[in-house]
A and B are shown apart, each in its own frame.
Chain A
Amino acid sequence: MFLSWPFFMSKLRSDDSAAVTNRTMEIVVSATLLVIGLVVAWDSWRLGARWAEDGPESGYFPFYVGMIIAVSGGTILWQALRGMTPNGRGTFVERGQLRLVLSVLVPAIVYVIAIQAFGIYLASAVYIAGFMAWLGHYSWLKSVTLGVATSAAVFMLFEVWFQVSLFKGSLYNPLAVFGY
């Protein structure tokens, strides 16, 4: 079991060809910034972005903030398209690395979907147990025990002790039976 983690790592990392280059990523991010900037500026303009008699209107600052984002994003985009990005041909992420990152990111996103559906407690227990068992190759017994224990500890701490009500799930609340 203790050997499995490094083994798993070496298996996943074996592929070191570039999945995405810096340049591509640079283009994606700067284009997104350009769009965000324009949207911000547009909405602020709608709200009123002039300097009225008694100082700036609601949209004044956000308008210029949006414009600066758009201009900065546009400039970075232009540089990237012209191939002026420093180390642009360098690797943003290797295939193996990407697979590793996704192996954490995808379960995390699934976890958030599960929270949305069944609330924090059930989702967290399953997530911790699943992560340990699949990625950490711990025995199911250990994984489930720790997952449930963590979730129970969180429940006691927040729901019972601090009386902070955490999200119970919009689809089905498994704790409804206990009156929570």
Chain B
Amino acid sequence: MEEINALLHGFSVALTPVNLGLMFVGVTLGIIIGVLPGLGGANGIAILLPLTFTMQPTSAIIMLSCIYWGALFGGAITSVLFNIPGEPWSVATTFDGYPMAQQGRAGEALTAAFTSSFVGALVAVVMITFLAPLVAKFALKFGPPEFFSVYFLTFCSFIGMGKGQAFKTLAAMMLGFALAAVGMDTVTGQLRLNFGWHELLRGFDFLVAVIGLFGIGEILLSMEEGLSFSGNNAKINFKVVVETWRKLPRYWMTSIRSCVIGCWMGITPGGATPASFMSYGVAKRLSPQGSKFGTGQLEGVIAPETAAHAAGTSALLPMLALGIPGSPTAAVLLGGLLIWGLQPGPLLFIEKKDFVWGLIASMYLGNLAGLIIVLTCVPLFAAILRIPFSIIAPIIVVICAIGAFTVHNAMLDIWFMMMFGVMGYVFKKLDYPMAPMVLALVLGDRAEDSFRQSMLISQGSMDVFFSNGLVGTIMGLSLMLLFWPLISKLMALCGRRG
């Protein structure tokens, strides 16, 4: 049990009063960053990075990684309260979290979100502790065809879920793909769908679209009802935390499934955002309450949050072990490591034992610190819903505008946000499903890139997607999910005959 010894040593490194203090500072800051759309974990880390040069590398990285934890927790807050995802990976949390808040169950949704985030991260950290070398090797198996198969699986786990009109679902999803294609094509370096307009070089950012579609769109919708945000009768005492905790063990199966999905996507590195979507999709299919998803199911909050956090945490592993960042935030952390003269890569675990195990120990502690902070604040967050609509609505619009602007420092994005806001309002009323569109916008260009890279490798042959066990299995699984309605019908038919 070499790892346990190393971990205990790590705790002794991490558990100094100064480091504990830095942890709380980091987590609190991270929550603020997570709450404000547009300020990403990368911002916070990048800005604090210079401050940390006066500290020990271990203390510094502990503080910075705690910002990361805080941001992961914080993203859920605005998703649940206002339908505005503070971070890309909390989009799926809005699907059930926001309806819960409207029903006056904001406290419950937040508690579930925070707790399952904690569980997801914890599982991922345990995995990092004991399986790091093995897992790093697994990540190396992912080439372009494997990446494509993972994205394909994400789509398949999500497709065919909506009950809306088929053409509307199709149109919405393809619109997402079209928006994702705007900008530069990585594979050939050509500009696409720009129409000679240079402002479109950067493409449509997912966050701008989501802030508009969900945030502004929701304000317009609730205005129509002519009342304040519903859900202002939310319970704002601490009892709700305990009550929710009593319900949570019922969903252990969803939890485990989401952990697996999250860890896997974090390592590959598919990232936290696809992980949360995939986990939501799978939970919806496999849960007995699946058909009620989207109306405020606790399970619909647990699934994406667990997976997002598990993925976000395990994304740090490829960064440490291979030097490839699994997310933009991890990329900035990577820059930090280099400045402290630490070279991320296979040798980090051997040469800088103190640092690595200190960091891993701080993952346990930082995560726990984060959970304590956010849970104590649940009543406070829920109370925000009691602020009168005519005060909170303009503030939300302001925050949305800032969020849209900061993504690329582009004024035009604020206009796009308004456009998406109107679109969100109209689409919702006409039953165009938004989830497939958002998913296509997030994963569209990545899926296309890996598909075309695969085609380059195989020189245009599709066989590449079944060329080895790994990619073949994932593709097979995807196809099975895609045709699941058909398969289940066939099975029912055979059953009747038999």
Contacts and interface: CB of A to CB of B under 8 A. Distances in A.
A164 B39 CA distance: 9
Interface residues of A, number: 71
A35 to B, nearest CB: 12
Nearest to B397: A108
A12 B219 contact: no
Closest 10 CB pairs of A and B: A55-B455, A136-B390, A72-B171, A131-B394, A72-B167, A128-B394, A62-B181, A97-B224, A124-B398, A65-B177
A131 B405 contact: no
A131 B171 contact: no
In this complex, the member of A52, A55, A59, A76 whose beta carbon has the largest number of chain B beta carbons within 10 angstroms is A55
A162 B50 CA distance: 12
Contact of B425 (A51, A52, A101): A101
B185 A54 contact: no
Nearest to B388: A136
Given A29-B430, A135-B390, A62 B397 contact: no
19 contacts: A5-B388, A5-B389, A25-B426, A36-B175, A54-B459, A57-B188, A66-B174, A68-B174, A75-B167, A100-B226, A108-B421, A111-B401, A124-B398, A127-B397, A128-B394, A136-B389, A154-B402, A158-B39, A164-B406
B201 interface: no
Prevailing SS type, chain B contact patch: helix
Contact of B401 (A120, A136, A138, A158): A120
Interface of A: 5, 9, 12-13, 22, 25-26, 29, 33, 36-37, 40, 43-44, 47, 51-59, 61-62, 65-66, 68-69, 72-73, 75-76, 86, 92-93, 97, 100-101, 103-105, 108-109, 111-112, 115-116, 120, 124, 127-128, 131-132, 135-138, 146, 150, 154, 157-158, 162-167, 170
Contacts of A55: 452, 454-456, 459-460
A150 B456 CA distance: 53
Given A26-B430, A54-B456, A72 B174 contact: yes
A162 B195 CA distance: 35
Interface stretch (B89-97, B322-330, B349-357, B410-418): B410-418
Interface residues of B, number: 64
Interface of B: 32, 36, 39, 43-44, 47, 165, 167-168, 170-171, 174-175, 177-178, 181, 185, 187-188, 190, 192-193, 195, 216, 219-220, 223-224, 226-227, 388-391, 393-395, 397-398, 401-402, 405-406, 409, 411, 414-415, 418, 421-422, 425-427, 429-430, 432, 448, 451-452, 454-456, 459-460
